[in-house]
Amino acid sequence: MRVLMRDLLGQSLRELRVSADLTLRDVSSSARVSLGYLSEIERGHKEASSELLNAICTALDVPLGDVLRSVAERADAAANVTPLPVPGARAA
């Protein structure tokens, strides 16, 4: 399994923030996390602690359950990706 939770979570958090028309600065300020760290989380470069995840959910006004379902859907999609056949490649 090559898909990482922190990558999927970062994508979901960024998407939710953009949908809510909030800037990194808005969320960083209300969740009391540095802008750089929040950006690293959104890019999947850092793991968010459970406490920080709660603070971000509160800043986004989205329940934790909704965020996790969004991440679960991404995980499903990633797991179901079938690589396209490469023309000329030998079958495995």
- The residue among 3 and 20 lying less far from a copy of itself, judged by its C-beta, is 3
Give the pair of three-digit tokens for residue 24: 């990194």
C-beta of 1 vs 84, nearer to a copy of itself: 1
Encoded one letter per residue, x for contact with a copy of itself by CB under 8 A and - for no contact, window 6-35 reads xx----------------------------
**Tokens (6 digits) for 57:** 């959910």
Which of residues 50, 83, 84, 92 is near a copy of itself by CB under 8 A? 50
What own/partner pairs with CB < 8 Å and gap ≥ 24 does 26-35 have?
26/59, 27/56, 27/59, 27/60, 30/58, 30/59, 31/55, 31/56, 31/58, 31/59
Contact 48, 56 (CB under 8 A): yes
- Selected from 21, 32, 51, 92, the binder of a copy of itself by CB under 8 A is 51
Q: Least Å distance between CB 58 and a copy of itself?
A: 6
